[in-house]
Structure 1
Amino acid sequence: MILEGLILHSISQIREERTISSIYHLLSGKKSIQTVQDAHIYSLEPLFGVYKRLDKRFFYEVLEYLLSLRYIQVSSKRESAYLLTKEGESWLHNSRSSLGLEKLNGLKYHETGQVFLERLTLFIQTLTNTRNGHFSFIPVVDKPSIEAWVKSFYQRTRNREIEMLEEMYKELYQLLHRLTDEEAGIFTDRLSGYKRYGMSLDQLANKYSLCTVDVHLRLTTVTHHLMDLVLREPHEFPVLHLFLRDLKGEHVLSNSAAVTYRLLKNGLDISQIAVKRNLKENTIHDHIVEIALHHQDFCIDIYFNTGEKEEITQAIRKAGSHRLKDIKQLVNDEISYFKIRLLIAREKTIRNEA
C-alpha cells in the first residue's frame, strides 16, 4: 500500500486547499507551474513525478478503495477535495516509516532518476557479459540514448574490466547496506548479468508480496536514495558518480522560463516579453513565479506597489491557508492572483534557503 500511503500523505499535507486532481498531477509530474508550486508550498517536493505513468482511472480506483476503508472522506469545504479521517491518520502514522518518504527526491530526480538506473543496469549487463566472452546478448534497455552512453562509457573503460567490476561491486555493496533488506533485494533482483536476466516487475511483485505499482515505487525510492548518497559522497563512490555527474538533477528552470529570465535580465518588462515571444502575459507571469521559486536573488519588489506585500502576507495569515481564492477575497481589487502567487513562491524559497 505504498501508493495509498503517498496519496494519504499528500491529502494530509494539502489540507483541503486543493482538489484531489492536484495530487494526481503531482505524482505523475505534470509540468505546470501550479503543480510545481503546490509541491513547494505543501512540502511535497519528494513526491513530484514519482509515478509518471500513473493511470488516472487507476488513481481514482485507489481513492475509492481508501474511501471504502474509511481512511478518507469528502471535504465539506471544497468540491473534489478530501481529508483524512481518524482511521486514516492512524494508519498513516503507523505506516509512515515503511513508505520511504525520506528517501524520495522527486522534484530533483524525476527527469534523471530513470536515466541513471538504466545506464547502470545496462552497463552491468554489458560488462559482465563481455568479461565472460559473451558479446551477443539481448540488452535489457532498448533506448538509443542509453545504449549510446553505455557504449561510449564501455569503450573508455574496456581495458579496466576487472577493476571496474570490483569497484562497482564494492560501491554497490556499501550503498545497499544503507537500505532495507526489501529495498536492496528488489534492486539486485532487477539487475541482469552474464546468462542471467533480472526479474520483471510482475516477478518482483510476486516474490516480495507487493503489487507492481509498489514495486515501481520501491525502485524509484532506491534510485533517488542512491543518487543522493553518491552525489553527497562522490569520493566514496567514484565509479558510480561517473554515471550521474551530468545528471545532478538540480532544480532548474524550464526552457521557456529560462528564456523569459534572460529577457528580464536584459531589461524587458512583462508586456514587452509577451509581444517578443508571442505569448500571453499570463504565461510570462507563470515564468516569473517559477523564477522566484528557484532563484532567491531574483528581485520581485518591482511587481508590487507600496504596502501590497504586507497586505498579502496578512491575508495569508488570516486565511490560514494558501488557497488563492481565500487570500484574494481578503485583499484589495488591485492585487492580482499573480502577485499573490509570486509572494507565496518567494516566501517558500526563503524558507527552503534558511
Structure 2
Amino acid sequence: MLFEGIILTCSTRIKTERTAAAIFHIVSGKKSIQTIQDIRMFELEDFYGIFKNLPKPVFDKKINELDKLGLLQEKEKSAYDITKSGKEWLERNSSNLPLDYYNGLHYSNTAEVYNERLTLLIQTLTNSKKSNFAFIPVIENSSVEKWVKFHYKEMKVHEARLLSSIYNELRSLLRHFSNQEAELFVERLTGYRNYGKSINQLADKYQMTNVDVKLVLTGMFHRMLHFIQQERDNYKFMSFIINDIFHTALITHSANTTYFYLKKACTIEEIAQIRGLKYNTIYDHIVEIALYDPDFPLTNYVPKHYQKEIMKAFNATSSFKLKTIKQLVAGDISYFQIRLVLASAKNLLESGD
C-alpha cells in the first residue's frame, strides 16, 4: 500500500510532464541533473532516494498494476496521470500512509549510515558484554565496520552505560511511531544470540510486501533523524553516531565545482574549457544552481523583458514542458533561458516576490 501511495502522490504532482521513469529515478535517488531539477520543480524532495536499490522491473510492474486497476492512466507514451479513482484511493488511504516521515533529500544518505552503524553497534556491544567475540557481523560494509571498530575501543569500558543509553534513546524515539512500526523496527535488530528478522520474515509476519517493509523502515529512519537533529540534547548517543556525516547535499558535486568557478567570475566558455566539458553540461549546472540559490543573478543570463515573457507563457500553460513554453515566446529565447527562469521562479514564489 505504501509503495502505491508514493507512486500516486508523485504522479499527482508530475502529471504527464515526465514519463514514469522520472518517478523511478526520484525514488531510487539517481544522481543526475535532470532528476535533481525534477524533485525541485515538482516539490518531490521528500521522496528522493528513499529506495536506492529498487529494481526497475519491480517498479514497472507496479505501474502496470496501477494502470490496470484504473488508478493511473497512460496519456502519452510512458507518461501517466492519476485518475479520479486514484485520487479517491489516496484520500481513502491517506491516514494509513506515513508519507510525512520522509525527507529524502536531507536524510537518504545519512539514514543508511545511521541504520548500519546503530545495528552493528548494538550487535557488537551486546555480544561484547557477554564476552562473545566470535559473532558474525550482520552488516557487510567495510567503512561501517571500521567506524565501529575504531570507536569500540573507547566504548568497551562503558558497555553497560552505553547499552542503557541506546535503549532509553531508542525507546524515546519509538514513541513517535505506531506499535506495529516500533515492533517492526525492534524485530529487525540483532543482539546477543538473537538475530534480527529478515525483510522476508517481517513481510510474512505483518502481511506486507517486501517493498513496503523497506519503505516503512526507511521512513522511520528519516523521522528518527528529524527528532535527533531537533533534540540533540535528548539524543546524545544517536547524535554521536551521525555527527560526522550529518549534512545536506543540495546540489551535485559536479554542479558545485561549476559554482566555484562562477563565483570567480569565470564565463561559461572558460569553465567549459577548464573542466573539459560541453557547454550544455555547464548550462545544466547553472540551472541546478539557480534552483537552490535564492540570490542567483538571473538577469546576468536572461534580460528582464525575457523573464516576463517566459513567465507569462508559463502562467498561460501551467506547464514545465520546455517545448510548450518555447512555442509561446520570442524565437531568440533559448531553452537554457527558459529552464533558468523556471528554476529561479521557484525561489521567487517561495520568497513571496
TM range (shorter): over 0.9
> Amino acid of the residue matched to residue 56 of structure 1?
K
Q: Across the two proteins, how many residue pairs are aligned to each other?
A: 352
State whether residues 39 and 45 of structure 1, in contact with CA within 8 Å, keep that contact through their aligned partners in structure 2.
yes
Secondary structure in structure 1 of the residue aligned to 2:190:
coil
- Identify which range, 48-57 or 191-200, moves more after superposition: 48-57
Structural mapping, 1:1-354, within 5 Å: 1-75=1-75, 78-352=76-350
Structure 1 outlier segments of 4+, above 3 Å: 349-354
Q: Distance in 2 between matches of 1:350 and 1:166?
A: 49
State whether residues 123 and 150 of structure 1, in contact with CA within 8 Å, keep that contact through their aligned partners in structure 2.
yes
Shift of 1:295: 2.2
> Amino acid of the residue matched to residue 279 of structure 1?
L
Q: Distance in 2 between matches of 1:176 and 1:325?
A: 48
Question: How far does the alpha carbon of each residue in 1:53-73 deviate from its partner, in whole angstroms, 9 at most, with x for none?
Answer: 122222111111112211111
Shift of 1:350: 4.2
> Amino acid of the residue matched to residue 29 of structure 2?
G
> Amino acid of the residue matched to residue 332 of structure 2?
E
> Amino acid of the residue matched to residue 41 of structure 1?
M
State whether residues 312 and 331 of structure 1, in contact with CA within 8 Å, keep that contact through their aligned partners in structure 2.
yes
Secondary structure in structure 2 of the residue aligned to 1:111:
helix
Shift of 1:148: 0.6
Q: Distance in 2 between matches of 1:344 and 1:315?
A: 11
> Amino acid of the residue matched to residue 247 of structure 1?
I
State whether residues 50 and 218 of structure 2, in contact with CA within 8 Å, keep that contact through their aligned partners in structure 1.
yes
Question: How far does the alpha carbon of each residue in 1:137-172 deviate from its partner, in whole angstroms, 9 at most, with x for none?
Answer: 000101110001111122222222111111111111
> Amino acid of the residue matched to residue 29 of structure 1?
G
Shift of 1:351: 4.5
Q: Distance in 2 between matches of 1:46 and 1:323?
A: 22
State whether residues 109 and 224 of structure 1, in contact with CA within 8 Å, keep that contact through their aligned partners in structure 2.
yes
Secondary structure in structure 2 of the residue aligned to 1:82:
strand
Q: TM-score, normalised by structure 1?
A: 0.96
Q: Distance in 2 between matches of 1:290 and 1:306?
A: 20
Secondary structure in structure 2 of the residue aligned to 1:235:
coil
Structure 2 unpaired stretches of 5+: none
Check 1:50–1:352 CA distance in 2 against 1; reply closer, same or farther (3 A cut).
Answer: farther
Identity of matched residues, %: 42
Shift of 1:257: 1.3
State whether residues 111 and 249 of structure 1, in contact with CA within 8 Å, keep that contact through their aligned partners in structure 2.
no
CA RMSD of aligned residues (A): 1.5
Structure 1 unpaired stretches of 5+: none
Question: How far does the alpha carbon of each residue in 1:209-267 deviate from its partner, in whole angstroms, 9 at most, with x for none?
Answer: 10111111111101111111101111111110011122223133322112111111111
